[in-house]
Structure 1
Amino acid sequence: MLDTSAERRSFTTSDGATLSYLDAGQGRPFVMVPGWSQTALQWHAQIERFSRDHRVIAVDMRGHGESDKPDHGYRIHRLSQDLRELMLSRDLDDAVLMGHSMGCSVLWGLWDLYGGDRTGALILVDEPAYLLQSDFLTAEEQSQAGAIFPHDTAVAICNGLSDPAGAAAMTATLLDTMVTKDMPAEMRAAIDDQNFKFPRDIAARLIMNHVYQDWRDVLPRIDVPTLCIGAEASNVPADCMRWAASVIPGAELEVFGADEGGSHFMFMENAEKFNARVAAFVHA
């Protein structure tokens, strides 16, 4: 289901974690960063399409996929630093960086630390700028940010993931909100399989850090061509991607309809449309 012709390679971070990534094609670098508990293989349709005219690198973040599972470093800024070190080690410059879900947060963390160094364009796929519902934000600010997790929900998710007896059920509950009813069973099974390559206890630690990151002040400082992609049938409100596109200077916007495979995984459910829109952006 998740086949790719890419070669699997690895590199070691400054804190000793060996990370795995898929490498295919030649040309301008196109780096793909999956979301929380997802893996490089879930970009398989994009790897096959964009490796025709780019050097595509899709990374398994620490703890995820085929990468090492160290007992440390499960914070967004550490993942951003891991990505920075990968780009430096492979001399990737003027790169197109595409993040899905939490992968967007990794890219925002990278921008927060290093600005646009080595970055030529961004593709931001279905991620709130701030996940946490809080009285600290007005109702309008929560809507703009895409705040979907009250504190108690975040804690319940982490507790569920940390409990060996309940981790599978909690994972299934989360994934149920991220796909449409029309997703083929084999595709959903492949997503489930990739999720469980990330040990549930450390997945809980990472999601707790993730939920509390507020990236709203990063977005207006992005000054490279940017495409924001949302979806009407996603658990992430499409309006927060509309807002992100409105505050990133010159950003483009694409929102998948519910009848277009417009789930959180629209790049899998409707890879044809997704790839065509991304191709139009990167080749403009």
Structure 2
Amino acid sequence: MAAATTGFITLPDNVRLAYSQSGPPTGPNIVFIPGWIQTAAQFHKQVSHFQTRFRVTTYDHRGHGDSDKPAFGYRVPRLAADLDALLNQLDLRAVTLVGHSMGASVIWAHRDLFPRTRIAKVVFVDQARTLVSQPTWSDEQKLQAGGSFSADALYETVALLTGPGGDEVRKQFARRFYSEGVDEEEFEWAARQSAKAPNEVAAKMMLGHAMHDWGDVFPRFDVPVLVISAKGSLLPVESGEWIVGQVGKNARQVVFEKEEGGSHFMFFENPEKFNRILEEFLDE
């Protein structure tokens, strides 16, 4: 097996994205896309598993991890353009995109904006079509949409992130996305990874992510879709069911129980089950 390759691609706006590739160069391509203020390193339990058979690519969004941290571009469509540049510059073909949380939204924006000739399959990991509920929605509509914020609550959180004590706000906010039984050392390591994104970036990216409603994108997916949800997540399982229904026959959902590390970060807390499910999907 070839050694892991790390480097940077340079985007058209001169921002550099850090990326890593491992596994056989001729293996089937997987690209893991991290979520809000997450880093590529947080997929290390997937990389170590899949690199035996697959060509695995991970990368850090602008403002995150080891990528450049410009003062601009913190909107999901911009991140989708960054993803498209990565696919083209690395010449990745027949790719399976695996997007966690905001990373799934990046896939949705990419489907909305760019040709999909390089994409073979997609995986959406615990992300709802929007994060902000509309006040006129019924309880059922809120479950299906998955929105966990009101608009006021979103702006309050953004203000806290950039105010005094923003670091602690981020850490306590993050803890809500892990199960009660998460290993404390692993949580602290993940928190240090997230801290690579400055508070200003975290705030801008939350606003640039949460307000979108991607509901009209799903019927246009014509490749196999796997939706992974978790009963211990803040996002309702029903929001994943709704996405599957919108995609249609090409889609299916897998649900992690709360007792089996079924948090927002189920791929981190229960990598054995996550990797098995993903590998089965890849081999279909």
TM-score (norm 1): 0.95
Shift of 1:136: 4.9
In structure 2, stretches of 5+ residues that fail to align are none
Letter in 2 for 1:236: L
Q: Deviations over 1:184-229 (max 9, x none)?
A: 0111001100111000112101101211101010011111011000
3-state SS of 1:16 partner: coil
Q: 1:255, CA displacement in angstroms? A: 0.4
Greater CA drift, 245-254 or 105-114: 245-254
SS of match in other structure, 2:159? helix
Counterpart of 1:155 in structure 2 is 155
> Secondary structure of the equivalent of 2:135?
coil
Distance 1:84 1:221 in 2: 18
Deviating 4+ runs (over 4 angstroms): none
- After superposition, where does 1:1-284 map in structure 2 within 5 Å? 6-26=4-24, 27-163=27-163, 165-249=164-248, 250-284=250-284
Counterpart Cα distance in 1 of 2:142 and 2:112 = 21
1:5-63 deviation digits (Å, cap 9, x = unpaired): 74322110011101101110121210000000000000001111111111111110000
Q: Is the 8 A contact 1:29 1:55 kept in 2?
A: yes
Distance 2:12 2:155 in 1: 31
Is the CA contact (8 Å cut-off) linking 2:133 and 2:145 kept in structure 1? Answer: no
- State whether residues 238 and 255 of structure 1, in contact with CA within 8 Å, keep that contact through their aligned partners in structure 2: yes
Contact 1:116 1:222 in 2 (8 A): no
1:115, distance to aligned residue in structure 2 (A): 4.7
User: Is 1:116–1:223's contact at 8 Å kept on the other side of the alignment?
Assistant: no
The one-letter amino acid of 1:16's match is N
Residue 71 of structure 2 aligns to a residue whose secondary structure is coil
Q: Distance in 1 between matches of 2:245 and 2:49?
A: 29
Deviation at 1:141, TM superposition (A): 2.4
Distance 1:112 1:137 in 2: 25
Q: Secondary structure at the match of 1:124?
A: strand
Q: TM-score, normalised by structure 2?
A: 0.95
Q: SS at the partner of 1:140?
A: helix
Structure 1 letter corresponding to 2:70: P
Q: Secondary structure at the match of 2:181?
A: coil
Q: For structure 1, list consecutive stretches of 5 or more residues without a partner in the other structure.
A: none
Q: Deviations over 1:109-142 (max 9, x none)?
A: 0000025221000010000101111125443322
SS of equivalent to 1:132 = coil
Instruction: State the identity as a percent.
Output: 37
Give 3-state SS (helix, strand or coil) of 2:96's partner: strand
Inter-partner Cα distance in structure 1 for 2:229 and 2:65: 25
Aligned residue type for 1:225: P
Amino acid at match of 2:273: K
1:146-169 residue CA offsets vs partner (Å, 9 max, x unmatched): 011111111111101111x22112
Give, in whole Å, the separation in 1 of the partners of 2:115 and 2:136.
27
Equivalent pairs, count: 279
Indicate the larger mover: 70-79 or 235-244. Answer: 235-244
- Retained in 1: the 8 A contact 2:261–2:270? yes
Query: Equivalent residue of 2:223, what SS?
Result: coil
Looking at structure 1, the residues matched to 89 and 82 of structure 2 have their Cα atoms a distance apart, in angstroms, of 10
RMSD: 1.2
Q: Aligned AA for 2:32?
A: M
Q: Secondary structure at the match of 2:21?
A: strand
